[in-house]
Structures are given as C-alpha cells and as structure tokens.
Amino acid sequence: MARDYAARCPVSLVRNTWLVATAILLASQGFGAQKVRVEEELEAYPTESVDLRCEFIDGGGRTKLTQVSWIWEPIDGQRDNIAVYHPLYGQSFPNLSFKDRVVFLHNSLENPSIRISNLKMSDAGRYTCEYATYPSGNEQGTTTLVMLAKPKNSAKVVTAQAGTKSVVVAQCEAADGKPAATIKWLASVGGNHSTSTTDGPDGTVTVRSEYRLVPTPADNGREVTCMVDQRTQERPWVHSVKLSVEYPPSVSIEGYDNNWYVGRSDAVLLCMANGNPEPTTVTWTAASGALPDTVVVSGNKLTVRKVDDAVNTTFICEVKNKHGASSHQITTIVIDKKTIWLSCKPPCCVNKRGTDLNYLLTFEFSINTAAEDSPPRSSTRQSYNLTCESLYIFCMCNSAPSCKNID
C-alpha cells in the first residue's frame, strides 16, 4: 500500500514534506535551547576576585522572571545558596562563608552577575545561576570555577657519608600547588629518585621528590638539578644543588726531590690531605722517634732548616677528621757527596759559571754516591735545580768522561 502511495505522489511533494518536518524539529529544539548565558569555566587564584556573569536570553519576551539565585556546589550532592535577588524583596546572601565577599554587579533580573572577592582555595566548584520563571519554570546555567595555586618550590642538599648503601642526597619540593606539580631530576651521577604527594585540606597538593645514590668521595661537589613543572608557571622552575658527601681523609706527602745532601738549607715536605669535612688535626712524627732538632713543623708543612744525618729517617704524617684517620710516610736519604752525573748530548757540556745562582737544567741524570770516577748505570729525565756551590758535575761527551768543577 505504501508502494502504491509513493507511485501516486510526485517526488517534489515527498521532498517538501521532509523539509517541513525538519523545520518543525529545529523550531521545537529552539524553544528548549539554553536561555541562561554563562561562562563554562573560569580560573582564579587565592586572594583575587572573580566575576561570574549571568544573563537571561528571551528572544520573544514572553517569559516572566520572578527571582534569581546563585547556587554553589563544592562537591556533588551539596548545594548551597550564596546569593538571591528578588525585584521586590531585594538582595540576600544566606551563606555565611561568602558574607561580605559576594556582591551583585547589577541590580537587575536580566543580568544578575556577581563578584566574589578575597577568593579561597575552598571556593572551587560549580556555580549555578538559576531563575524562577513563568510559564516555563526554572532556567539555569552553570559555571565551573577552578582555583589554581602556584607552588612554593624549594630544593636542598642532604649531607651523606660515603658508603655502600643507597641514601638520600638531595630533596626537592613543590608545596601547596594546584594542580599537582611534576618533579624531574637532571643529573650525571647515576642515581634514581622517588616522588610522593600529600593533599592539603584546601585542595592543594604538595609534591616531594628525593634523589638517591650510593655516595662516593668522587660525588662530593657534583651537581644535581631539580626541575618543577606546573600549570601556573610560565616556564619550569629549575634549581641546582651541589652534593655534600663526607668521607675519611686520604693523605700524601709532597716535596721530596731525592736531593737532600748534607748542608742543604730549608728542605720542605708538605702533607696533602683530602677529606670532607676538612681534617681537624695534622700530626708529623719520625719513625726513628722524636723529630730531629733541625725540623720545624707548621700545620701540614715540615721544614728541615739544615740537612744532616739526623734527617736520614722516615717521616710520617697523620691526618684526622670526624670520620676517621689516615697516614702516609716517606723515607728521606741524606747524600754525603754532591756528585751528579750528566749524560749529555752534543755539543759537549757547557757549564755556565756563576756565584750563588740556581740553574734549571734538564738532563738525563742519576745520583751516584759510590764513586766519582765511573758514570751511573741508569738515569731518568727530569728538571733539576742545581746550585753552583762546590758542585762537581761529571759529563760524558762522546763517551769521554770529563770532570768540570764549576765552583
């Protein structure tokens, strides 16, 4: 039967019927369209103010407005009336938590926008502008207020002792922010980190991150960087800290040049210590007993005023800090004869004469205290300070040894 009807009816009539139906459907949707104009979402910060705009749209002017209310929904299921306007009875602010903080911007039913001042984090939620109207009943529009909070960022180093276990060496915190911040670490020391969050009573979140590693003395003073990213910041917050790793001291003795000959003045040894914290005590002793009378000690410096057989001994330096002690020793050999062999390359040795002058000579040399008439069997290449003071220099030029007294 439907096939017969379609056959009898022109195509244009069927098309026009569909167009009319569509127009009727759109018109019916227009009647039920949103009449209360509000902003969908707003963002604000504590202590600031925010304007919640509301406007009634009535194209035909057939709706009678009776009263308008602002209803706050901090959480689902809780509705609190915070502001009411009636053209006869005036304004009312029934919620005490908003008392003296909310005002109507216009004394009008058509535009009952409000301003909330001195905002708090707890003011976040949905705000509904609700009209009592005739004949259509209640009309409303809802704005979601998102409260934001800039985090208070900080980073600090945590002093650790060198060891074999993983410990916390640095901390980073983004406190009282909303939304929660993200913390990352930039480091080259090979550690790892853990992050925790704590919710505040006002909706803020505190994020804490700890950087851990197995600390070694080599890590002391190295940098790790905390980077905090959060919605309210224009760019990530970046802060670097230097690690503080404490460890017992290590020690070495410097200054001995293998040329302590009888009569030499002011030969110096230095006790070089490396520890964190810095060593609190430095002690010099001699393996032979008490320090020789010609020795003077000042802190880490030991000075031999005049070299003699008494300093033909072993000197020991010991340093201490709160984590332990360490020592190092060196044996000094006093040379009886100031005889130095030089293996010279052509041209043959040319000795500059001078009085009370020191010459820095770079030769292949060795000390020979056994005999002056035979060259040494081994040599090392070094820079050597030679004093022209009764000094015999033996030169071998073209395999023909010759003795030069440059006194």
Taking only Cα atoms into account, the Rg of the chain, rounded to an integer number of angstroms, comes to 46
The verdict on 49 and 133 lying in the same domain is yes
The verdict on 307 and 232 lying in the same domain is no
The verdict on 42 and 134 lying in the same domain is yes
Specify if 239 maps to a domain: yes
Q: In whole angstroms, what is the distance from residue 320 CA to residue 278 CA?
A: 9
Specify if 258 maps to a domain: yes
Specify if 6 maps to a domain: no
Specify if 139 maps to a domain: yes
CA 79 distance to own-chain centroid: 45
CA dihedral sign of residues 153, 159, 162, 166: negative
Specify if 15 maps to a domain: no
Total domains present in the chain = 3
Please report, in tens digits, the pLDDT of each residue of the chain (407 residues total): 333 433 333 434 333 433 333 333 333 333 445 689 999 999 999 999 999 999 998 866 788 999 999 999 998 889 999 999 999 999 999 999 998 999 999 989 999 999 999 999 999 999 999 999 988 889 999 999 999 999 999 999 999 999 999 999 999 999 999 999 999 999 989 899 999 999 998 889 999 999 999 999 999 999 999 999 999 999 999 999 999 999 999 999 999 999 999 999 999 999 999 999 999 999 999 998 899 999 999 999 999 999 999 999 999 999 999 999 999 999 999 987 544 544 444 443 444 433 333 333 333 343 443 334 444 444 434 344 444 333 434 444 334 344 343 33
Range(s) of the domain holding residue 185: 152-243
Asked if 384 contacts 367 with a C-beta cutoff of 8 angstroms, the reply is: no
The verdict on 255 and 317 lying in the same domain is yes
CATH of the domain at 133: 2.60.40.10
CA 34 distance to own-chain centroid: 52
Between the alpha carbon of residue 313 and those of residues 270, 285, 316, 334, the distances in Å are 16, 10, 10, 9
The verdict on 111 and 208 lying in the same domain is no
Specify if 364 maps to a domain: no
Specify if 16 maps to a domain: no
What's the pTM? 0.65
Domain end residue (candidates: 288, 303, 331): 331
Domain end residue (candidates: 147, 169, 184): 147
Specify if 53 maps to a domain: yes
Asked if 211 contacts 185 with a C-beta cutoff of 8 angstroms, the reply is: yes
Domain end residue (candidates: 97, 123, 147): 147
